[in-house]
Amino acid sequence: MTKRFLILTGLSGSGKTKLAHAFAAWIAETDEQYRVVAVGADWTTNENLLGYQDALRPEIYRKPTNGALELMLRARDDRERPYFLILDEMNLSHVERYFADMLSAIESGEPIALHSATEDLPGGDGDTVLVPPWLELPKNLFIVGTVNVDETTYMFSPKVLDRANVIEFRATADQIGDFLDNPQRIRMEALAGKGAGFGTAFVAAASGDAPSLAELPATIHDNGAQCAADLKARMVEAFKALAPIGAEFGFRTAFEISRFVAFHAVLTGPGWKFSDALDAQVYQKLMPKLHGSERRLGPVLKALEAFCTTHDCTASLEKIRRMQDRLKDGFTSYAEA
């Protein structure tokens, strides 16, 4: 809701793609509102997502067969309902090669150039869906990428990570044991459309302004102004901790963290804890870019460890300590710890 581009990373087989698919099926009225697209290792241009103008027949536009472009066009024409593009194993190819135009469009709001004609082009072969010269990514389009990290995949650049929220999936021995007590597959048909009544409100919240943290109702926090001041202080403190290795964040990230914390408070309601929201954003927004040698990263992880201990960021602290353990081998990264 606070960011239209989400990356799910972690253990292979932990349910990343299935969760994204299940949520889309739950909140969508029909299966025309989402697509699961498997990214190929040979994706080197944006044609696999956006298609291309036929060079031999320039009056025809060749849309990708995976349905990605058609989903975007449907979202453009139906702006009150949510649409989901789920990119499975997003880093099997270099993300910057096939996704750069969309990354830019997500942030700038500028349209993507699709073809050079002055009017909409048909897809050919009886295809009635017309493709415009320019496509503005609608605010009701949500993109979820799933990521596995091994020798067959590519690491994300800071440019990509900076534009997403990154959620890591892990499984504990207890969770595996609980699953094995009653192993079942998710029944998508049981979920389909059950949350469709929330779709319009979901889009409105995602495309609108965030609630004011300083003006939180007393039922959530008795001093919203103090929360806003605390968030500012914590973000400046984290910025200084990350700066020595050039991993500090910019204005976009600062804005998105503020937006997340405000939504987190309102959606959690009574019982909300500021430290939970801060913890989530340290884990999802600040740490994913961290990687390097012991000499480079060691002091920064030590500073972040102190930060998370002081401010009760328990999940981030656990992640930092896993990274510190990996650092004993001489190198560590967020994705591999």
Arithmetic mean of pLDDT, 39-64 = 95
What's this model's pTM, rounded to 2 decimal places? 0.93
**What pLDDT is recorded for position 305?**
97
pLDDT in tens, 148-186: 877 667 888 888 888 899 999 988 899 899 989 988 888
List the one residue out of 8, 64, 21, 58 whose CA is nearest residue 40: 64
The region, left, alpha or beta by phi > 0 then psi within -120 to 50, assigned to residue 33 is alpha
Q: What domains lie within the chain, and their CATH numbers?
A: 5-199 (3.40.50), 210-333 (no CATH)
Among 235, 236, 240, residue whose Cα is nearest residue 258: 235
Cα 232 from Cα 225, distance rounded (Å): 11
DSSP string for residues in 26-78: HH-SSGGGEEEEEPPTT--STHHHH-EE-SSSTT-EE--TTSHHHHHHHHHH-
Between 124 and 27, residue with greater pLDDT: 27
What's the DSSP call for residue 108? H
Q: Is the pLDDT of residue 12 over 90?
A: no
Cα 159 to Cα 2, 156, 167, 169, 299: the distances in Å are 19, 8, 17, 22, 24
How confident is the model at residue 336, as a pLDDT?
Answer: 76
DSSP state of 54: -
